Amino acid sequence: MNQEFYNEMEKLLSPEAILINEPMSKHTTFRIGGNADMFVSPEITQVPAIMRLAKEYQVPVTIVGNGSNLLVGDKGIRGLVLAFGKAAETVTVDGNHITAGAGALLSKIAAEAVKNSLAGFEFAAGIPGTIGGALVMNAGAYDGEMKDVLVSAKVLTKEGQVIEVKAEDLDISYRHSCTPEKEYIVLEATICLQEGNEEAIREKMADFRGRRINKQPLEYPSAGSTFKRPVGHFAGKLIQDADLRGYTVGGAQVSEKHCGFVINKDHATAADVWELMCQVRAIVKEKFGVELEPEVKRLG
């Protein structure tokens, strides 16, 4: 890591906030990943200055949230990893609108919604990610998606400007928004919910939580659903029908509980997971003629 860049970063952040050769396995729900050259988790207001410095010193930057949808390579990530974490998890409620910093966990936002008797965000309560990451990929579950509630986002452009973008201008579709293509960094998001009954909202969240526990392999590290839903099919059902339940490569396994999940069964490497995903895709394509597209994002 460039020493001059490090010295300049120390002027922006406290030394203890700058982690060198930080294992990414600590920051992904897969519990997999080599080291990041430099890892920081700044406040929202510090992000523009950090990005200006990185541009000046030509340091590549990788943006992550809670690491719940990532497969980080075994050799790690070069340059700077900027993680939206606790320092960027502000949540404010104004009537039926909730504005949250990019690092706010969806579970925390859902809890605030319940306390304020606001309905419509129950689908997100069990998704183990941040609102920034959820917006980027239009995360969803149980027939709900971010696009259903999103009003606007505050983003940092590649030119270094902080702008407000309306939801309809983010080209949101299934597991997609235009933020990666436009190189936007999501700093904040505002959602709009409906007035509801607190008890009914809690019951709905409890129902979703129970379904997750019963159907998903939460006892193992994973990145959630491994593949996107193909048109007219369900990825998990195709994988199951291909007789791949429990299929293993190294320490990675197609979950026996839910075939739509690849799990870190026994100290899997990123190479194990990726090879397993490639083999599953090839077998499903051969048997059913359906191309499975990864939902997990590969870094490093």
Active site residues: 175, 225, 295
Residue 25 DSSP symbol: G
Residue 271's φ and ψ, nearest 5 degrees, are -65, -40
- Ordered DSSP codes for 58-100: T--EEEESSSTTEEE-TT-EEEEEEE--GGG--EEEETTEEEE
User: 299: burial class by Cβ within 10 Å (0-12, 13-18, 19+)?
Assistant: buried
The number of helix segments (H) and strand segments (E) in the chain equals 7, 19
Q: How many residues does the chain have?
A: 300
Residue 239's φ and ψ, nearest 5 degrees, are -65, -40
Query: With the CA atoms of 252, 253, 258 and 260 taken in that order, what torsion angle do they form, in degrees rounded to the nearest 10?
Result: 70
Smallest CA-to-CA distance from 49 within 160, 159, 186, 183 is with 160
CB atoms within 10 A of CB 99: 19
Residue 229 DSSP symbol: P
Smallest CA-to-CA distance from 18 within 90, 83, 103, 104 is with 83
CA distance 80 to 132: 18
Residue 17's φ and ψ, nearest 5 degrees, are -85, -5
Bridge partners, residue 63, by sequence = 82
CB atoms within 10 A of CB 279: 14
